[in-house]
Structure 1
Amino acid sequence: MRICRPLLLSLLCLAAAAAGPARASDFMGPRPGPRAAAPQDGYASAKDALRSGVRNYNAGDKIAAVKALEYAADQGYALASWKLGRMYAEGDGVPRDDLKAFEYFSRIADENADEAPDSPRAGVVASAFVALGTYFLEGIKNSSVVVNPEKAAELYFYAASYFGDPNAQYSLAQLYLNGSGVDRDERQAARWFNLAAEKGHAGAQALLGRMLVNGQGVPRERARGLMWLMLAKEAADPKRDAWIWAMHAEALESASETDRRTATAFLERHQAKRR
């Protein structure tokens, strides 16, 4: 299932009412071409503005960074829109504003939905689809972006299948595992977890590992499941990802010595293939 442009636009238009009539065009149809650079902007080009924005951000001057990034975003630079979206989503150098973040991510998705999966911008575009999916999954208070897991599933699916994005694959797998926005299907969950796990996504590795250890939706393979949990633990932060460490410890404690040895052998072969 691939999101066609009318469906994509219907998803993005939901925020227009909260943004007001003057900004509804951000979500409707193709955007106008880049504006001519105004002399007072102080940038030689939109690309120069993007570079200035990144440089100012890294130097800690986030006020100047926002100004430069806004200019580059208005000229169609997806990376500038993405960075602004992240800043507003996290309250990083600006007041946290999820609706404003949603607007920037929507702009990226609207203008770049057909970006080639192997293009340099594909990662940024896929990340924007994942962010939009999460906003539809959780909703934005006091706005027209309400909880809608079905739309979240559609956006995750697009980024997971067309772009092959591991974060989208992980998020989609969780929806299948929990039956949120899609029919509950543990086999589909394991499939999407596996795709993300093969790309090094620690959360997907951990949840796939647990499913294999327990035989949940897939044939039970304790040793292979333990291998995935070992990989997940290696990549996980002990504080931020304490749940992965706990899941690994539980599986290791219940594993037989044979399972542990076999899992170690699987792990060595898996790592050797990637050298």
Structure 2
Amino acid sequence: MRATGRVALLVAATICGVSTACAFDVKSTVANVNLPDLKSEARIDQAFRDGTRAYFSGDKQAAVDGLKFAAEYGHPAAQWKLGRMYAEGDGVTENDLQAFDYFNQIVAAHADDSPTSPQAPYVANAFVEIGNYYRHGIPNSTIQQNGRRAREIMTYAASYFGDADAQVELANMYLAGEGGDRDPRQAARWLMLAAKKGQVDAQAKLGQLLLSGDGLPASPIHGLMWLTVALKRAQTLGYDVSKIREMQENAFSFANETVRRAAISLANSWLTENKTVVAAADH
């Protein structure tokens, strides 16, 4: 077994140790049915599609019914969508422990899947969600706050799956000294990886970090460059740009003309040269 496989199993086993999902037997929930027929891939996929259509048409109850059917037989996209719905109280009663269990089912079954597999985005995000639950804990449950475990889980999602959101969360943990030593250099490394993928939060945070020189050499040109990239990307995506605009304009006002010209030129060059990356990030 390769190293990443061993890490994945260790992470999944650690999570499963405190989750009810790992002991969940879907067969016991279905009575008097033809199980081989129900478990056919086509029928499971159809249930997922029906649930998705019902969700977007506004029929959340029908959506839950279809998604639960698919989720019970291991459909990762259905499990992920139900996890999000329970986490947000979207069409169901908000229940973080139930959300955790759905995300955990994905991790337990797919932690060592290829990062290029169709389900990889769902798996990576499930790791991020579980990591955040361990960062904060779930009240009145066995999921207690555990920064060290959260950092391990985020590291796996950030490194093995290369997930940009995980990389940003991991950088935040390094900056705050959450779950281990504070390390701005490691934070900058993870932010750079996510920023190059077009992640707007990473670009803005990296810009701030390079301007401040917090724990690493300050770089006003590159700091202003990344803030400018973040502002233009946020405007294109229709985000609320007020906070990023304030940071970028503040940095611009303190920079001399040489720094301004160099930063704007680098920002425009990056956006031009990375159109494919930006387009992929936007979808």
Q: What TM-score do the two structures reach when normalised by structure 2?
A: 0.86
What is the CA-CA distance between 1:35 and the residue it aligns to? 4.4
**What amino acid maps onto 2:253 in structure 1?**
E
**What amino acid maps onto 2:19 in structure 1?**
A
Give deviations 1:162-193, integer Å, cap 9, x for gaps. 00000000000111111100211110010001
* Aligned counterparts, 1:61-140, within 5 A: 61-140=59-138
Secondary structure of 1:15's aligned partner: coil
Instruction: Give the one of 205, 227, 230 matched to 2:203.
Output: 205
Task: Tell me what 1:235 maps to.
Answer: 233
What is the CA-CA distance between 1:12 and the residue it aligns to? 2.7
Task: Tell me what 1:267 maps to.
Answer: 267
**What amino acid maps onto 1:101 in structure 2?**
A
Go from structure 1 to structure 2 and tell me whether the alpha carbon gap of 1:157 and 1:26 turns closer, same or farther (over 3 Å shift): farther
What is the CA-CA distance between 1:44 and the residue it aligns to? 6.7
Is residue 203–residue 244 contact of structure 1 (8 Å, CA) maintained in 2? no
What is the CA-CA distance between 1:273 and the residue it aligns to? 1.3
Q: What TM-score do the two structures reach when normalised by structure 1?
A: 0.88
**What amino acid maps onto 1:168 in structure 2?**
A
**What amino acid maps onto 1:117 in structure 2?**
P
Give deviations 1:255-274, integer Å, cap 9, x for gaps. 12221111111012112212
Go from structure 1 to structure 2 and tell me whether the alpha carbon gap of 1:105 and 1:205 turns closer, same or farther (over 3 Å shift): same
Secondary structure of 1:14's aligned partner: coil
CA distance in 2, matches of 1:38, 1:239: 43
Q: Unaligned 5+ residue runs, structure 1?
A: 17-22, 28-33
Task: Tell me what 1:258 maps to.
Answer: 258
Range moving further from structure 2, 261-270 or 157-166: 261-270
CA distance in 1, matches of 2:11, 2:66: 32
Q: What percentage of residue pairs aligned between the two structures are identical?
A: 43
CA distance in 1, matches of 2:35, 2:251: 58
Task: Tell me what 1:11 maps to.
Answer: 15
CA distance in 2, matches of 1:35, 1:230: 56
What is the CA-CA distance between 1:8 and the residue it aligns to? 2.2
Go from structure 1 to structure 2 and tell me whether the alpha carbon gap of 1:182 and 1:107 turns closer, same or farther (over 3 Å shift): same
Secondary structure of 2:19's aligned partner: helix
What is the CA-CA distance between 1:91 and the residue it aligns to? 0.7
Matched pairs, number: 260
Go from structure 1 to structure 2 and tell me whether the alpha carbon gap of 1:36 and 1:246 turns closer, same or farther (over 3 Å shift): farther
CA distance in 1, matches of 2:55, 2:43: 18
**What amino acid maps onto 1:154 in structure 2?**
E
What is the CA-CA distance between 1:75 and the residue it aligns to? 1.4
